[in-house]
Amino acid sequence: MTKQSSNTVWHHATVTRGRRELQNGHKAAILWFTGLSGAGKSTLAHAVEERLHQIGCRTFVLDGDNVRHGLCGDLGFTDQDRQENIRRIAEVAKLMLESGTITLTAFISPFKSERNLARKLVPHGDFIEIYCRCDLATCEQRDVKGLYKKARQGEIEHFTGISSPYEVPDNPELSIDTGRYSLDECTDQVMVLLKERGIAKND
């Protein structure tokens, strides 16, 4: 549940999201990349950001590891801490949406309820869930951070896919087989969707 501090009133700015989008020349949106560790979420998010930047879009990537160096540095990986991690990110993404920015988030975000909470924070159509579909064996084979090996050896608790569950999205806006397609092909799929929705500029 979203928390609210007492004795506070939301301040409505005169520079609105609509005015910022008009200045930017494109719509704002939240692209929520979800999937197992090693599925390519961060890699794909940054590749999409590069494409968007090249055609003049204002963007920012909120990366799972990066936010745990500061904003969520006090959280562990229990189910409760994971839920709080996603709640904080969802609130930040909501603020960035109001700034007129195309915000890309790359988080395992294993639970449907937390992803749905993030979706419900913003107007319909502004939240685009992108499921990076990659089987566990392929993710373990990649294991670029050596985390699966540590999890298998019992050195990491609550590791998604090994000792903690991942709930596959029911109806994501886009499901990409990142274990089958190249990075460029995956990026193309995202860009096609963004252009169809009128979010990305035409290059």
Residue 132 lies in a domain: yes
Residue 202 lies in a domain: no
Tell me what pLDDT residue 161 has.
80
Residue 11 lies in a domain: no
Packed helices 112-120 and 79-98: angle between N→C axes, nearest 10 degrees: 20
The catalytic site residues sit at 109
Tell me what pLDDT residue 1 has.
46
What CATH number is associated with residue 114?
A: 3.40.50.300
Residue 108 lies in a domain: yes
Residue 203 lies in a domain: no
Contact between 142 and 187 under an 8 Å Cβ cutoff? The reply is no
pLDDT along the chain (203 residues), means of 10: 56 83 93 94 96 95 70 72 83 93 93 92 95 93 85 86 90 96 98 94 63
Q: Domain containing 103: what range?
A: 24-196
The answer for 171, left when phi > 0, alpha when psi is -120 to 50, beta otherwise, is: beta
Tell me what pLDDT residue 86 has.
84
Cα(32)–Cα(130) distance, integer angstroms: 6
Residue 10 lies in a domain: no
Residue 3 lies in a domain: no
Query: What is the number of domains present in the chain?
Result: 1
Residue 69 lies in a domain: yes
